[in-house]
A = this chain, B = another copy of it.
Amino acid sequence: MNQALICPRFEKAMSIMSQRWTGLVIYQLLAGPKRFCTLESSMSISGRVLSERLKDLEQQGIVKREVYPETPVRIEYSLTDKGMALEPVLREIEKWSQEWLQAE
């Protein structure tokens, strides 16, 4: 019954990018490392889901988590090379949004 089979790697990529918030988190990290509370307050994501997303992205090798034992502790999230490689995707979404969506 399945005619046009979709490449499983592409399907995987789509399942990552089509999770709520994932794209915006990566987009924020393109600008440089960010801490949990900075990410949390720069978009309307809940702490519960942000924590979940960061763990997922870390496990997929897209995000790196680094602990600086200062006081209070500082934990920084940044993109790995694999994560950085998503920049063109985000830039194309940005372009499309500028060309095809109205400002409200």
Q: Tell me the number of copies of this protein.
A: 2
Cα–Cα, bound, A10→B6 (Å): 27
A67 within 8 A of B: no
- Please name all residues of chain B whose beta carbon is closer than 8 Å to the beta carbon of A11 when the two chains form the complex: 24, 43
Query: Are B94's CB and A4's CB within 8 A?
Result: no
Interface of A is mostly: helix
A: interface residue count bin: 35 or more
A7 — which chain B residues lie within 8 A by C-beta? 94, 97
Are B96 and A13 within 8 A (Cβ)? Answer: yes
Please, how many angstroms separate the alpha-carbon atoms of A27 and B2 in the complex?
16
Given A85-B96, A92-B89, A101-B12: A6 touches B20 (CB 8 Å cut-off): no
